[in-house]
Structure 1
Amino acid sequence: MKRVVVVKLAPTREQYLALKATLKLCNAGANMVARLAQTTLDRRPFALQKQVYAHLKACGLSAQPAIRVIKKVADAYAARQANLANGNYGTPGSKRYVKVFGKPIMFREHAGQPFDDRCLSWQIDQSTVSIWSSAGRLRGVGFVCAPWQLKLLADRKGESDLVFRDGDFYLHATVDTDTPPALVPADDPTGWLGVDLGIVNLAVTTADNPADLDARWSGGAVTARRKRNRILRSVLQKVGTKSAKRKLKARRRKETRYATDVNHQLSKTIVAQAQRTGQGIAVEDLSGIRDRVRLARTQRHQLHSWAFAQLRDQITYKAQAAGLPVQVINPRNTSKTCHRCGRCDPANRPSQALFRCRNCGWSGHADHNAAMNIAALGHRSYRAAQSTGPKAATPLTAS
């Protein structure tokens, strides 16, 4: 299992200036390569290397950093091509599609730069790194991190990204960790913890008490803070001055950190619930929900402002680290199907919070009912995968 460990560098003033100059040089070289890549059909790293390697060396880049710059450009164009093919920039021939396709990719002056083990080495026992720079090899660059991060970094190999953010330097190191053997849940569907993700309630599990749902990760502090942030953004956007734009940028980063923190707390709570009982976790897949769902204007901001994919990914990697199996489930019809009798009917949900089955008469919290359906689908998908190999869970249908 891959994890990304983020550590903060503590360079001296000379090292700090050298690192800034290094990023500036690398991204200037990347922009040169990107302009060439825009005019050629063969954007593979080796093909680009044959054309620009000598130019990058002449600009002051050493051999290995030059290769990493070329690879960064090739990866950026591959990602753009995948987005174009998937329709993320509109249909071919549309104004947005043509604009993206016809414009070379450009990198910010201090955009992140990947370094491999030839360019960067770690001295874990001394909490320092040695890194290539445009001013020569920088040795003894200190870094600070938590003890658990040091433990993960001890056996790392491969690439690390140098990132400049808010006036500080960070290293994003990718590490491979051993995944504990997954626990096998009981045959009964209650051996799975279903997780329903949503707007009003960020996450509801089968272990939650339906009577307490309105107070947990819901319309309280989280929603109130998101509403306050939206009002502040609206005010600053109307002002439009340089100072307002700087404040908008700072608020965006602050809101991102807040959402990440809440998702970490929520995912940690969910995994702890499953770990106490040895259950597997079934979580719904909300990929593409922004394109599929039509909402009232007042709800659109809530849908677009929360990182549901990040929450799902955090639940997944934390569960795997704890040795718990995870199933990602298609959520189709889970919110309007009765978990007790299986009746699927849009009229089963007269309001956002209430579920009342028109067939068997069961009533309760709608999100808790959806979580029960997701748990059942997780059980079904897991057993199908155990007997016949990987297989997606069958969505619930009307009966």
Structure 2
Amino acid sequence: MKLVAQVKLLATPEQKQVLLATLRKANEACNRMSEYAWENKCFKQFDLHKACYHNIREGFGLASQLIIRCNAKVADSYKLDKATKRTFRPTGSIAYDSRILTFFTKESQISLWTVAGRMKIPFAAGELQKEMLLTQKGECDLCFIGGEFYLMVVCDIVEAPQNETTEFLGVDLGIVQIASDSEGNQYSGEAIRSLRRRMRKLKAGLQHTAKKHGSKSAKRHLQKLRRRQSRFTRWVNHNISRRLVESAAVSGKAIALEDLSGIRERASVMNREMRFELGNWSFDQLKQFVSYKARRAGVPVVLVDP
């Protein structure tokens, strides 16, 4: 099972500037490759590498392996369709592999290639994340989010053997009660609903200001509020899913979870408030969290008709 460990880099201000310069240089190279691919209708990774590698190496001074990763990024972007020219943000994520990034898990450090040469940077990670990093496999992405740098590391986690059982912990999903199980436990959604209502009022005022006056400050504040709401929702869903899986594992039961796929399309007659509640209902995220936690714990999960 593949999971992504998010690792925060504890870079100094000087290191952040170097990492930013590396991101910008790499994405500039991606844009140059994309321009060539678009003009010459050359979209295959091998052909694009053959045509652009030496020019990019001479013109941008990037490491050989980073150019290969940039080339793959451009080629992958055209796999969906070739009807639109692809452009890349200056601070968009870039991929690293084991040739240009090394983990020192015990020391909580990484060594990665930058435009200023190899650089060692400490990172913050909990014990669970460090355990996951021991199974790190393949590429990881360097991302710039909210003024901080993160590594999204793909880890190959060994799944526990599935328990054989005929008993189930039934889980009913809802908005007022996010989850209610067949043992009588209920997990309230009031904290999330309360936060959404407060955010809704704040966002309405900021959206009006941003639209009427073109305020960049209002737009930045909107992004900050969206991230805050998303983080809190994820935190609540992680806690609920952990408790559900732990409860099923202790009692030796499987989990029977409602399959709510397509519920927004089926619920067509709604007032404005109900559309808001339903549109912000993160039941699919909770299902994903329950599913992967259950696989790690050896707890079977089945989806049932509501």
TM-score (normalised: structure 1): 0.70
Larger CA deviation: 259-268 vs 288-297: 288-297
Partner of 1:122: 103
User: Structure 1 pair 326/44, CA: closer, same or farther in 2 (3 Å)?
Assistant: farther
Structure 2: distance between partners of 1:105 and 1:205: 47
**Structure 1 residue 142 corresponds to structure 2 residue 117:** no
**Structure 1 residue 284 corresponds to structure 2 residue 285:** no
**Structure 1 residue 303 corresponds to structure 2 residue 278:** yes
User: Structure 1 pair 282/239, CA: closer, same or farther in 2 (3 Å)?
Assistant: same
Which sections of structure 2, spanning at least 5 residues, go unmatched? none
Equivalent runs, 1:1-399 vs 2, <5 Å: 1-39=1-39, 43-58=43-58, 59-78=60-79, 80-81=80-81, 102-138=83-119, 140-186=120-166, 191-208=167-184, 216-218=187-189, 220-240=190-210, 241-296=215-270, 297-329=272-304, 331=305, 334=306
The residue matched to 1:126 in structure 2 has which SS?
coil
Structure 1: distance between partners of 2:57 and 2:106: 34
Report if the CA contact (8 A) 2:3-2:156 is conserved.
yes
User: Structure 1 pair 323/63, CA: closer, same or farther in 2 (3 Å)?
Assistant: same
Offset of residue 40 of structure 1: 5.7
Report if the CA contact (8 A) 1:207-1:273 is conserved.
no
Structure 2: distance between partners of 1:162 and 1:243: 26
Report if the CA contact (8 A) 2:192-2:233 is conserved.
no
Offset of residue 39 of structure 1: 4.7
Offset of residue 102 of structure 1: 4.5
User: Structure 1 pair 30/184, CA: closer, same or farther in 2 (3 Å)?
Assistant: same
Structure 1: distance between partners of 2:87 and 2:286: 30
Report if the CA contact (8 A) 1:7-1:143 is conserved.
yes
Q: Which amino acid aligns with 1:134?
A: V
Q: Which amino acid aligns with 1:31?
A: N
- Of Structure 1 and Structure 2, which has the larger fraction of its residues in strand? 2
Structure 1: distance between partners of 2:71 and 2:303: 36
Question: Percent identical across equivalent pairs?
Answer: 38
Structure 1: distance between partners of 2:284 and 2:34: 30
Structure 2: distance between partners of 1:286 and 1:47: 44
User: Structure 1 pair 295/265, CA: closer, same or farther in 2 (3 Å)?
Assistant: farther
Offset of residue 175 of structure 1: 0.7
TM-score (normalised: structure 2): 0.90
Structure 2: distance between partners of 1:271 and 1:327: 13
CA shift digits 1:99-155 (9 cap, x unpaired): xx74322222111111010010111122111101112111x2111211221122123
Report if the CA contact (8 A) 1:34-1:104 is conserved.
yes
Report if the CA contact (8 A) 1:37-1:48 is conserved.
yes
Aligned residue pairs total 300
Larger CA deviation: 50-59 vs 228-237: 50-59
Structure 2: distance between partners of 1:292 and 1:40: 46
Displaced runs of 4 or more, over 4 A: 39-42
Report if the CA contact (8 A) 2:192-2:232 is conserved.
no
Report if the CA contact (8 A) 2:36-2:42 is conserved.
no
Which sections of structure 1, spanning at least 5 residues, go unmatched? 82-100, 335-399
Q: Which amino acid aligns with 2:251?
A: T
Structure 2: distance between partners of 1:72 and 1:288: 32
